[in-house]
Amino acid sequence: MSNPSNSRKPRKTVKKATRGKTSPDANISAPRKTETGHRWTFLTNHAHVLIVLHRDPTRVLREVALEVGITERAVQRIIQELEEEGFLKREKIGRQNHYQVLTDQALRHPVEGHKSIGDLLQLIAKQ
Would you say residue 11 has pLDDT above 50? yes
pTM: 0.69
Low-confidence winner among 19-23, 74-78, 88-92, 123-127 (lowest mean pLDDT): 19-23
Residue 48 and residue 59 in contact, taking contact as beta carbons nearer than 8 Å: no
Angle between helices 61-68 and 72-84 (to 10 degrees): 100
Would you say residue 57 has pLDDT above 80? yes
Would you say residue 119 has pLDDT above 70? yes
- Give the bridge partners for 88, in sequence order: 101
What is the residue-averaged pLDDT of the chain?
Answer: 81
Would you say residue 18 has pLDDT above 50? no
Closest to 49 in 3D by CA, of 27, 84, 77: 77
CATH architecture of 41-127: Orthogonal Bundle (1.10)
Strand ranges for the chain from DSSP E: 88-93, 96-101
Sign of the dihedral defined by the CA atoms of residues 109, 115, 117, 123, in that order: negative
The pLDDT tens digits of the residues spanning 61-76 come to: 999 999 999 999 999 9
The listed range with the strongest mean pLDDT (18-22, 24-28, 71-75) is 71-75
